[in-house]
Amino acid sequence: MKLKINKKILAKNEDCAAANRKFLKDKNILCINMISSPGSGKTTTLEKTINMLKGKVNIAVIEGDLQTQLDAERIRATGAQAIQIETKGACHLSAAQVTNAIHTLNIDQIDIIIIENVGNLVCPSDFDLGEEKRVVLVSVPEGDEKCAKYPKAFAKADVLLINKIDLLEHLDFDVNRIKKDALKLKKDLKIFEISAKTGDGFEDWLNWLTKTKK
Ligand SMILES: Nc1nc2c(ncn2[C@@H]2O[C@H](COP(=O)(O)OP(=O)(O)O)[C@@H](O)[C@H]2O)c(=O)[nH]1
Ligand SMILES: [Mg+2]
Ligand SMILES: [Zn+2]
């Protein structure tokens, strides 16, 4: 019974995601779904990305959190548009919530919409939001076993961002291990090592982003 209901929910979500994808494609907007654990640095990475591309690429953000408008406020402080979805307890975003958010944004001047999903490496992987590309982010303090433990998040991603590399010298985090594990799950995964704090490694990530937009 439970399985049947889950299948139905996922099928309905797929329809909605397909409609989002078509709508954004017609408007020539690149949409990215960003997935990671809480605190790994999604919002900080987005702030840095927006600031570094200012005047060149216009980015809007859809924020997902259980509650509060805090992340949307951080993004707005950069000058970019941000819509906050408060899921009121749900641990992932659904495509229908994203549809509403897209229609709340002023999308006339937007090149890229980045969705910061609810901090969770588990069920967001199962919910297509209508994105063109999926980015999974892992940070150094979380440990290098994340791919092994949460394979689906990596197998379905196009990009892996390894964040907080400024902390590598303080922690036992084997970058090669996580890269090897990730590439086993997805052989053409693009991997960038970054520090959202210092801006290290951003050049390659931003190049990928701007190239993918074209
Ligand atoms: N040292 C260091 N701290 C970072 C980096 N990126 C984010 N942080 C810190 O990690 C914490 C969580 O960041 P946040 O962007 O809110 O994570 P989110 O929950 O994934 O959106 C904050 O205290 C950030 O300042 C980084 O590259 N290096
Ligand atoms: Mg955040
Ligand atoms: Zn969930």
What SS3 string covers 119-182?
Answer: CCCCHHHHCCCCCCEEEEEEEHHHCCCHHHHCHHHHHCCCEEEEECHHHHHHCCCCHHHHHHHH
What length does the chain have?
214
Whole-prediction pTM: 0.96
Q: Which of 186, 196, 136 is nearest to 166 (CA)?
A: 196
Of 122, 48, 123, nearest to 80 (Cα)?
Answer: 48
What is the structure's pLDDT at 195?
A: 98
Helix (H, G, I), strand (E, B) or coil at 68: coil
Judge whether 46 and 116 are in contact, CB under 8 Å.
Answer: yes
Burial class (CB in 10 A: 0-12, 13-18, 19+), 155: middle
| CB of 36 sitting under 6 A from ligand 1 | yes
pLDDT value of position 2: 66
pLDDT digit string (tens) for 181-214? 999 999 999 999 999 999 999 999 999 999 999 8
Please give the DSSP secondary-structure letter assigned to residue 92: S
Would you say the CB of residue 201 lies under 6 angstroms from ligand 1?
A: no
pLDDT at 1 (0 to 100): 62
Number of domains in the chain: 1
- Domain with 114, as residue range(s), is 2-213
pLDDT at position 214: 86
Atom 26 in ligand 1: residue holding the nearest Cα: 164
* CA 39 – CA 25 distance, rounded (Å): 31
Query: CATH code at 118?
Result: 3.40.50.300
pLDDT of 161: 98
**Dist. CA 81 → ligand 1 center (Å):** 21
**CB–CB of 91/64 below 8 Å?**
no
Say what angle helices 2-26 and 95-104 make with each other, to 10 degrees.
30
- For the chain, list residues with pLDDT below 70: 1-2
For the CA of 137, the closest atom of ligand 1 is: 20
Q: Which two structure tokens, joined as six digits, stand for 86?
A: 């408060």
